[in-house]
Amino acid sequence: MSDTNGRVGRTRTLPHALLVDLDDTIVDGSAVVDCWRIACQCCPAEVEDKVLAEILRLRDWYWSDPIRHREGRLDLSTARRRIAATALVNTGCDAAGLADRIGARYDECREERTAVFPDALDVLRWLRQDGRRLALVTNGAADMQRRKIARFQLEPLFDAIFVEGELGFGKPDDRIYRLALSALSVSPRDAWMIGDNLEWDVEQPQKLGMAGVWVDAAGAGVPGSSRVRPDLIIRSLADLREL
């Protein structure tokens, strides 16, 4: 855990309220490549690796665009099938129904491998017991995110929950942070935003006056090309106990 820009006073002790991201902060979403590899087993064996490589290339391209990203995250199944279909065409491996089979297998694999990070729920319970007010702030489709919230029994751990697909807007739109702060009855100065996305969970909250806490699960550090400087970097929610 490290403080990166000198504003130590704001991140030395836990604040009154915390806004917490869901995916890759509470829920582990690191199985992406493995799930695509398993999904590509729907292809003939001799082209599996070629199709997988093209899917991974297209995946990086697809999610790099903010407009595609917003459209895709609100309907992930369709986005995955489009990526698979384009990869099959690009590799000359297209066959009737194959993209749908790849997409369906990927969806199944992600559902099977979705899990919360170790200690994440215990840390949230501890924060609640310590008197901290908590809001869950997540992008994504309403049905998909609500399934995760129900599956891992997250609702009782939060004072308020905000889902992009239910509101019609999400991070980094100012409105979602302001709604969360209002629901928790706190000023930006008394709140942290915690998550894995440097723009959504750090930079934009900082512009509103919150501290931005970045979850760097891989321990890779802030990319040298990034203009964003988190107030605090943690490997997991469990690091909050050190404060």
Residue 4 has a pLDDT of: 53
Which pLDDT score, from 0 to 100, does residue 1 have?
Answer: 67
pLDDT at res. 13:
87
- Name the residue among 186, 181, 148, 182 with its Cα closest to residue 165: 148
Q: How confident is the model at residue 236 (pLDDT cuts 50, 70, 90)?
A: very high
CATH architecture of structural domain 8-28+115-242: 3-Layer(aba) Sandwich (3.40)
pLDDT of residue 94: 86
Mean pLDDT estimate for the chain: 94
The domain limits of the chain are 8-28+115-242, 32-113
Distance CA 195, CA 216 (A): 9
Confidence of residue 9 (pLDDT cuts 50, 70, 90): very low
Run of H or E including 123: helix 120-129
What is the arithmetic mean of pLDDT over 216-224? 94
* Predicted local distance difference test score (pLDDT) of residue 6: 38
pLDDT score of 243: 83
3-class SS at 191? Answer: strand
Per DSSP, the three-state class of 145 is: helix
pLDDT band at 8 (very low <50, low <70, confident <90, very high): very low
Summarised one tens digit per residue, pLDDT across range 102-141 is 999 999 999 999 999 999 999 999 999 999 999 999 999 9
Residue 98: which H helix or E strand, with range?
Answer: helix 98-113
Q: What are the beta bridge partners of residue 134?
A: 18
Mean pLDDT over 168-173 rounds to 97
In eight-state DSSP terms, residue 96 is T
- For residue range 29-77, what is the model confidence (pLDDT) as tens digits? 899 999 999 999 999 999 999 999 999 999 999 999 999 999 999 999 9
Phi, psi torsion values for 4, nearest 5 degrees: -110, -10
In Å, how far are 36, 45, 121, 225 from 110, measured between CA atoms? 9, 22, 20, 31
Nearest to 113 by CA among 39, 53, 173: 39
Output 70-79 pairs: Cβ under 8 A, ≥24 positions apart: 70/170, 73/139, 73/140, 73/141, 73/164, 74/140, 74/141, 74/164, 74/165, 75/141, 76/107, 76/140, 76/141, 76/144, 77/103, 77/107
Report whether pLDDT(10) > 70.
no
In angstroms, the CA 23 to CA 148 distance is 10
Res. 7: pLDDT tops 60? no
